[in-house]
Amino acid sequence: MLSSIEPALLVDLGSLYVRFAIERLPGVFSESRTLQCADYPDFASALKDYLSTLDASEVRHAAIATPGPIAGDLVRMVNYPWQFSVEETRQATGLETLVAVNDFTALAMGIPSLQPEQFRKIGRGEPQAREVIGLVGPGTGLGVSGLIPEDHGWVSLGSEGGHADFSPQSETEIYLLQYAWKRYPHVSAERLLSAAGIEMIYQALCERVGYSGAALPAPEISRRAVQGNDPISTESLNVFCEVLGSVAANLALTLGAFGGIYIGGGIVPRLGEYFDRSGFRARFEAKGRYQNYVAQIPTFLITAESATLLGTANILRAQLRHRAGASTLLDRVRRAHASLSAAKRRVAEVVLTQPRSVLNDPIVEIARLAKVSQPTVVRFCRSVGCEGLSDFKLKLASGLTGTIPLTHTKVARDDPIRELSTKVIDNTVSAVLRVRDQLNGEAVERAIGRLLKAQRIEFYGFGNYAVVAQDAHYKFLRFGVPTAAYSDGRMAAMAASALGKSDLVVAITGSGKPADLLEAVDIALSRGAEVISLAPSHSPLAKRSSVSIAIDHPEDVEIHIPMISRILYLVVVDILAVGVAMRGVPVMADNGDASASSATKDDTRRKDYTRLISHSG
């Protein structure tokens, strides 16, 4: 458990600035420092710079709050080109614990710790104790979250609700929706409820009245509105507040948030009493038959500047309490030390003195350090309740960091079959999760769009990847689209020479370099066909392709069978197939009975989609 005398490092990582602070007493922050992201090449550099101002041994535990979803070990910032591994950053900075959380989840977890002077009530309604709480806050984007009470605290909801559809409630808002549609294929609530949203509202209202003045930044629009000396700015901010009222009420209805709806983010707290007088609360209660229902729900404006840090600290303390309350593997090793044999004690001493190295070292290195045989290392792992070395490392990692990092454990030729099986499965799961975190959604979306338009699809996969091409061929053949799979370079080249502008090649390779595959792809491109590649990023094939879906996973060079990457490619093929099924199959030329009704054809396609999805994977 994190005590009041053990400092914790808390980080609020935004799109322009990163704020650091130390918590020495619960809810009390000191040594606060704000750095500009643009001054550093990556997050680790900014973190090291801040840590250099402290006693290096003083801080052992840290937590980061950042925008966007947190999945696995990789943090990819939404509005700034930084991405980093949590575990690699922890190791590089010498921290014992490093936790990453979504910034709005952190803000939500800070709400129960807010003092009365740190928030302000807007309108009527009274909160009910131990009821669901909702949170919404516009800033660079629109954050949405919630808190659900449990026996000993709260469970926060991870949400991207800011990207739900914008629903206009007035003629002015209908005009704004039509204005936004000219620029964006999908208009979410965030398009209006953000700094960029205020600017777009202002530009749209200027255009409606024929005013051609210069575009204004959101802070200036807000300043003019608050001062009341610019009618268009005033109307823009009024619309902003009213739309926020609708979105907040939708959240209240969805969650049944009788604990209250809290407003956070970087915009509204700066509006002062203007927000209290705005149409926010009136719009919040404008829910027709459910007006009385939402009128009972109070709304609060969070005014505390440190609310996100407060929630981040709460999350970190909860993780450390959980770890302290559980029997960690290192504690188990310490207790068992005296009862172990001499050889197993030497392994235990290596684990206790070098736990971080043990996480990454192969069994041969652990055995060398302990001066024992490799089977002795395995027997030691089993003596402390683990099934083998892989299981031991996973539990050790969880005890050290509070999370299970994505790692790759080398398979040794003399591994017992249980150990070998566990390593292969764990390595595959780890690799799939890493691909999930790194997969480029935009590239996948473009690939699905091209697959939907293609009149003919050919899959080229040679060697170990021939089975992936064949699998893709079977999946897409169910759509009624002419498809073929080629695993021979000469046949692929001949087939490519017969393609045309409405055709598509999906090229699949683990290296991105086979000369015969590149030759076939070049022929297809010369014929006007498009090429989607499933290959490592920056490979020759990826650079040639119309759309490149990067799959980066190095195989164990000592084992020549691609144990993992082939599975990764099969998973990506499944993503494309299900994406095509869900987006709708392209309408092919009808060679059947011309009297068949379109309704019957549509029903057949829907059944095909269902069969494909139920069999996928």
pLDDT in tens, 93-134: 888 888 888 888 899 999 999 999 999 999 999 999 889 999
**Residue of 458, 452, 448 lying closest to 572 (CA atoms):** 448
Point out the least confidently predicted range of 37-41, 263-267, 528-532, 609-613. Answer: 609-613
pLDDT of residue 305: 86
Q: DSSP per residue over 156-197, as a string? A: EEP--GGGSBP---SHHHHHHHHHHHTT-SS-BGGGTSSHHH
Q: For residue 138, which phi and psi values (nearest 5 degrees)?
A: -85, 140
Over residues 492-505, the mean pLDDT reads: 95
Count other C-beta atoms under 10 Å from residue 598's C-beta. 9
Q: Which residue has the tokens 């690799």?
A: 431
pLDDT of residue 563: 63
Residues 6+ apart with CB under 8 A from 416: 375, 378, 388
> Which residue type sits at 500?
G
Q: Which residues pair with 268 in a beta bridge?
A: none
pLDDT of residue 186: 93
Over residues 301-315, the mean pLDDT reads: 92
**Residue of 81, 61, 91, 85 lying closest to 71 (CA atoms):** 85
3 state SS of 150: strand
- For residue 598, name the pLDDT band (cuts at 50, 70, 90): very low
pLDDT in tens, 219-234: 999 999 999 989 999 9
CA-CA distance, 30 to 28, in Å (whole number)?
A: 7
Residue 409 has pLDDT above 80, yes or no: no
**Residue of 152, 73, 158 lying closest to 322 (CA atoms):** 152
CA-CA distance, 562 to 545, in Å (whole number)?
A: 23
Over residues 515-525, the mean pLDDT reads: 95
Q: DSSP per residue over 537-598, as a string? A: TTSHHHHH-SEEEE------TTS-S-TTHHHHHHHHHHHHHHHHHHH--------S-TTS-H
**Residue of 101, 25, 16 lying closest to 63 (CA atoms):** 101
3 state SS of 302: strand
- For residue 68, name the pLDDT band (cuts at 50, 70, 90): confident
Residues 6+ apart with CB under 8 A from 557: none
Cβ atoms of residues 380 and 344 within 8 Å: yes
Residue 515 has pLDDT above 80, yes or no: yes
3 state SS of 355: helix
Cβ atoms of residues 37 and 19 within 8 Å: no
pLDDT of residue 204: 95
Point out the least confidently predicted range of 126-140, 259-273, 329-343, 576-590. Answer: 576-590
Confidence (pTM): 0.56
pLDDT of residue 520: 96
Report the chain's mean pLDDT, rounded to a whole number.
84
Residue 472 has pLDDT above 90, yes or no: yes
| Residue 10 DSSP code | E
pLDDT in tens, 32-60: 999 999 999 999 999 999 998 887 667 88
pLDDT of residue 505: 96
**Residue of 268, 269, 281 lying closest to 242 (CA atoms):** 281
Over residues 343-370, the mean pLDDT reads: 87
**Residue of 512, 556, 518 lying closest to 537 (CA atoms):** 512
Residue 603 has pLDDT above 80, yes or no: no
Over residues 355-362, the mean pLDDT reads: 78
- For residue 608, name the pLDDT band (cuts at 50, 70, 90): low
Alpha-carbon Rg for the chain in angstroms: 29
Percent of the chain with pLDDT over 70: 85
- For residue 429, name the pLDDT band (cuts at 50, 70, 90): confident
Cβ atoms of residues 372 and 379 within 8 Å: no
pLDDT of residue 594: 40
pLDDT in tens, 545-588: 999 998 876 554 444 445 677 888 999 999 999 999 887 654 44
Percent of the chain with pLDDT over 90: 52
pLDDT of residue 423: 67
Residue 541 has pLDDT above 90, yes or no: yes
pLDDT of residue 591: 42
Cβ atoms of residues 20 and 35 within 8 Å: yes
Angle, to 10 degrees, between the axis of helix 342-353 and the axis of helix 374-383?
Answer: 80
- For residue 512, name the pLDDT band (cuts at 50, 70, 90): confident
pLDDT of residue 264: 93
